[in-house]
Structure 1
Amino acid sequence: MDFVAYDFETANNYRFSACSLALIVVRNNQITDELYSLINPQTNFAWRNVAIHGIHEADVADSPTFDELWPHLKSFFTPDQLVIAHNAQFDNSVLKHALQHYDLPVPTFKSLDTVRTSRKLSPELINHKLDTVSQAYQIDLHHHHNALDDAHACAEILIHQVNNFGIEAIRPFIKSV
């Protein structure tokens, strides 16, 4: 299976406030590439968000803004590309709001949420948070809420599910957004 897993962290409660992003490229069920960047959201950081991900305003001061980073990312978000996230509703919303914030066109792409696939394929779990599913599938999640580690874990979750439940179990969860 070919797909891109991604994860955002945000500076505050505003969805346009992306402060880090990771993309994991998977080809033939193998991780082949990764991209990670801090992002300068040009807005204030909420203490609650900093407590979750540990990224401070000073950490992103010299980082690109989202509109500067987008030209390097947009080829991963095409109508034929499957892009996955754990709680995709959040990450897709951050992407959409960041693009709208900078008056950039919002792309159409195929999306899959590994929270939803996990609920269906592993209903016995106490919950379907990223760390819980990772532990159940014996996937190393080094630093939860680090975008790169979270995107890696998300990719590994879908690889595990495809290998153990088959592609046909996954197909119903693919939606165009």
Structure 2
Amino acid sequence: MNFVAMDFETANHEKHSAVSVAIAVVRDSQVVDKFYSLIKPETYFSSRNVAINGIHEQDVANAPKFPEVWDKISPLFTEDKLIVAHNATFDNSVLKGTLAYYGIEEPHYMLLDTVRSSRRLFPNFENHKLNTVTSNLGIVLAHHHNALDDAVAAANILIYEAHHFGEDQLKTFVKKK
């Protein structure tokens, strides 16, 4: 199984307020590469988001703006590439909102949401939050709401699901973007 898992953290509710992004590259069902970057957004920081992800305005004062980060990760977002996220609706909306904010053309790729797959494959879990799913599956999630830890956890959830249910079953959860 080959795919890329992504995760964003944001400064506030605005879709272009990414303050960090992480990528976990999976080849042959193994995480083989990781990327993490802080991002300096062109917006304000809400105390709610800071409380969730721990990223303050001063933490990103010298960080690159999104276009610089996108230059590094955009080659991973192609029509034949599967992109995975836990709560992909959120992460994909941050990506799309940030691309739109900077006038960058939106890429086309395949998207799979591990919240959605987990709801279907593990209906008896109390809920399907990232920390709940990882705990139930015995997957390590060191720091929830750290983009890199969250991306790796999402990758490991999909690897677990593929191993236990088969890749063909997971294809039903893929959407083209």
TM norm. shorter chain > 0.5: yes
- 1:37-90: per-residue Cα shift (whole Å, max 9, x none)? 000002110000000000000000000000111111110111100000000011
The 3-state SS of whatever aligns with 2:20 is: strand
Aligned to 1:78: 78
1:122-137 pair list within 5 angstroms: 122-137=122-137
Tell me, in whole angstroms, the C-alpha distance in 1 between the residues paired with 2:168 and 2:72. 32
Q: TM-score, normalised to structure 1's length?
A: 0.99
Aligned to 1:116: 116
Aligned to 1:36: 36
> Which AA in structure 2 matches 1:15?
K
Aligned to 1:94: 94
> Which AA in structure 2 matches 1:79?
E
- 1:138-175: per-residue Cα shift (whole Å, max 9, x none)? 00101100000000100000000000111111010011
Tell me, in whole angstroms, the C-alpha distance in 1 between the residues paired with 2:97 and 2:21. 14
Tell me, in whole angstroms, the C-alpha distance in 2 between the residues paired with 1:30 and 1:70. 24
Deviation beyond 2 Å, 4+ runs, structure 1: none
The 3-state SS of whatever aligns with 2:159 is: helix
Query: Unaligned regions of 5+ residues in structure 2, if any?
Result: none
- 1:5-25: per-residue Cα shift (whole Å, max 9, x none)? 000000001010000000000
Q: TM-score, normalised to structure 2's length?
A: 0.99
1:16-55 pair list within 5 angstroms: 16-55=16-55
Tell me, in whole angstroms, the C-alpha distance in 1 between the residues paired with 2:131 and 2:169. 22
